[in-house]
A and B are shown apart, each in its own frame.
Chain A
Amino acid sequence: MRPITVRHRETPKGANAAKSWLRTVAPTRQEITAYLLLFPLLALFTVFLIIPTASAFLLAFQQWSLGGDQPNRWIGLANYERMTQEWRFWNSLTVTLKYAFGLLVIPYALALPMALFMNMKIKARAVFRTLFFLPVVTPVSAAGLVFVFLFNTDFGIVNSGLLSLGLIQQPVSWLGRAETAIGTSLSMIVWANAGFNAVTLLAGLQAITQDILEAASIDGASGWSLFWRITMPLLKPASITAITWGLVSAFKLFGPIYVMTQGGPGMATEVLGMYIYSNAFHYWQLGYATALSTVVFVICLGINAIMAKVGRVDWR
């Protein structure tokens, strides 16, 4: 008898081929549900975030008005050229960098001891935590108004206190003089945000468990060296977050500046955000302001990207 040979077809042909390909491409029941669940949020994102961002990069090359009474005119790179030539743009960039420097260093320097304090085992710990965080939850405008009055030249308590302590001879116009305006407004911003940075660092601190600290002290580390060699490196991710925040927030600044100085005196505190607002709503230069917006977009993206890379570098 002849042996029975069975020829086994591995690859399906014809209609079966199409069906099995479809099975791999078609969405599963879970996938359909997932897309349905995600759809509303993604739809909102598209309309109110992605489309505006994209259109900003288009509008930056046009001259446009809000009512749409005149058709938009395409003017190419004119807005960007103007940017490079306007003194006020470079000024706003410099001012923003000044705030960035202040916001990089000071909140972190304050938040670190604050976080260490908040980590201490005291019974009233929750009270202090709440106290430190209160400025964070205060409305920007309210905080701005209080600080404006605190530093009021004629009636403010800062001048009054400093005069009575003999530290100054005459009332200082804190927000009215170019030299002091940045520092004064910076003090409000730092006050309003130090608690937030402290809580970020606190999260990192609390991850440094007792075991690690005990192991380190058995190895002979104590006090300062314990702090620098163990605690600080373990705090790196939280520190990077805090410092990135400071850098980016300078470019996002608007509320505090608007409420306290409106960019003055004489552009001394005009950060990029304030400059954009000014061009858009005081001078109605919407195309130019949009071009400025794209610059801020790119800068913030860049900072985030760089800091993400930095976060991955092994400092050891």
Chain B
Amino acid sequence: MHTKLARSVWQELRRPLAITLLCVVSAVFIFPFFWMISCSLKTLREVSVFPPPILPAVPQFGNYVTAFSRAPLARYGLNSLVVCVSVILLTVVLSAMAAYALVFLNFRGRERVYLILLAPQMVAAVALMLPLFQVLHKLKLLNTYPALIIPYSVLFSPFSIMLLRGYLETIPKELVEAGRVDGASELWILMRVIFPLLRPPLAAVAIFLFIWSWNEFLFAMVFIQKPLMRTVSIGIALLESVPNFPPENNIILAAATAVTLPVLILFSAMQRQFIEGMTAGAIK
């Protein structure tokens, strides 16, 4: 049925066809981003008209200034930044300690502890939200930075531990043994010998933690109610609820773009480490 000619034509066409399909799919994927940026630069009229223009006639960069005056986006950004950086510091320190113990130290219950440390992955954030809310309330931590920093750290540490553990297992134990023979304490070995070697997986972990903490929505909405303490991901959702007619979609999307750009840029710059870290974690 397939002549030799047809088959060889198909073989030749396969690659360019696949690549074309790839480009089409990518274009569809990217379209929402394009639309977000394009609409953020339109005038109010251009987002309130049908059919909508593909591109703004004159880019309204002033929309971004307006967005920042409609909601304290800068303050939200600062809150998010504080939370993200703190989450990274806390999680990295704690999970490095845990991963080191899990790999280089022999102790009873090692496997059980590892399973416990992976437990947060099976917990649904929505289910945890209410009882955790009560715990935070009793500890008087609501509406503070730790209200987000600590739960994020707990939720994201399994990932960190898995990556670090996987990487640590490739480090020869002789290194640690040498330190012990020299009389160094385990903590010293961890800090001076092992930690400097952890740069690759730590880079991936730090990127993940930053992006996840920046984007997280549920806890950020429920645990922080004080307006000025809110994070950036809630901040833009709140903008939508301002009653305006016609709705200022251009300003709203300008805010959304402003909030998304940092993580998009961070990710694009570090995407190699990100995906390598992810695939390593998935295989191990």
Do they bind each other?
Answer: yes
Query: Which residues from chain A sit less than 8 Å from chain B, CB to CB?
Result: 27-28, 30-31, 33-35, 37-38, 40-42, 44-45, 47-49, 51-53, 55-56, 59, 64, 66, 114, 117, 120, 122, 126, 128-135, 137-150, 152, 154-157, 159-160, 163-164, 171, 191, 194, 199-200, 202-204, 206-207, 238, 241, 248, 251-255, 258-259, 272-273, 276-277, 280-281, 286, 289-290, 293-294, 296-297, 300-301, 304
The answer to the question of B69 belonging to the interface, with a C-beta cut-off of 8 Å to chain A, is no
User: Closest residue to A293 on the B side, CB-wise?
Assistant: B127
The answer to the question of B95 belonging to the interface, with a C-beta cut-off of 8 Å to chain A, is yes
User: Closest residue to B122 on the A side, CB-wise?
Assistant: A304
Given A147-B32, A155-B50, answer yes or no on A251-B131 (Cβ-Cβ < 8 Å).
Answer: no
**B113 to nearest A CB, angstroms?**
6
B95 CB contacts on chain A under 8 angstroms: 41
> Which stretch in B19-27, B57-65, B166-174, B195-203 binds the other chain?
B19-27
User: Closest residue to A153 on the B side, CB-wise?
Assistant: B50
The answer to the question of B13 belonging to the interface, with a C-beta cut-off of 8 Å to chain A, is no
Q: Is the CB of A49 within 8 A of B120?
A: yes
User: Closest residue to B47 on the A side, CB-wise?
Assistant: A155
* Assembled-state Cα–Cα distance A156/B54 (Å): 11
Q: Is the CB of A134 within 8 A of B30?
A: yes
* Assembled-state Cα–Cα distance A273/B190 (Å): 41
Majority SS at the chain A contact face: helix
Given A33-B105, A129-B271, A134-B267, answer yes or no on A53-B123 (Cβ-Cβ < 8 Å).
Answer: yes
* Assembled-state Cα–Cα distance A25/B232 (Å): 52
Select A37's contact among B54, B97, B272, beta carbons within 8 Å. B97
Select A30's contact among B105, B125, B283, beta carbons within 8 Å. B105
Q: Is the CB of A146 within 8 A of B154?
A: no
Q: Is the CB of B29 within 8 A of A132?
A: yes
Q: Is the CB of A137 within 8 A of B211?
A: yes
**B209 to nearest A CB, angstroms?**
12
Select A294's contact among B32, B127, B274, beta carbons within 8 Å. B127
Given A41-B95, A137-B267, A141-B236, answer yes or no on A203-B124 (Cβ-Cβ < 8 Å).
Answer: no
Chain B residues bordering chain A, tally (CB within 8 A): 92
B211 CB contacts on chain A under 8 angstroms: 137
B22 CB contacts on chain A under 8 angstroms: 117, 120, 122, 128
A56 CB contacts on chain B under 8 angstroms: 127-128, 130-131
B50 CB contacts on chain A under 8 angstroms: 154-155, 159-160, 171
Q: Is the CB of A48 within 8 A of B26?
A: no
Select B36's contact among A126, A146, A171, A254, beta carbons within 8 Å. A146
A-B contact pairs, 18 of them (CB 8 A): A48-B150, A48-B154, A51-B135, A66-B133, A66-B137, A117-B18, A117-B21, A120-B22, A130-B271, A137-B215, A145-B256, A146-B32, A149-B35, A149-B47, A155-B48, A258-B217, A276-B130, A297-B127
Q: Is the CB of B18 within 8 A of A120?
A: yes
**A51 to nearest B CB, angstroms?**
6
A59 CB contacts on chain B under 8 angstroms: 130-131, 134
Q: Is the CB of B131 within 8 A of A47?
A: no
| Interface bits B248-284 vs A (CB < 8 Å: 1, else 0) | 0100110011011001100110011011001100110
Given A59-B131, A280-B130, answer yes or no on A145-B106 (Cβ-Cβ < 8 Å).
Answer: no
* Assembled-state Cα–Cα distance A33/B126 (Å): 36
Q: Is the CB of A293 within 8 A of B282?
A: no
Q: Is the CB of A286 within 8 A of B127?
A: no
**B204 to nearest A CB, angstroms?**
12
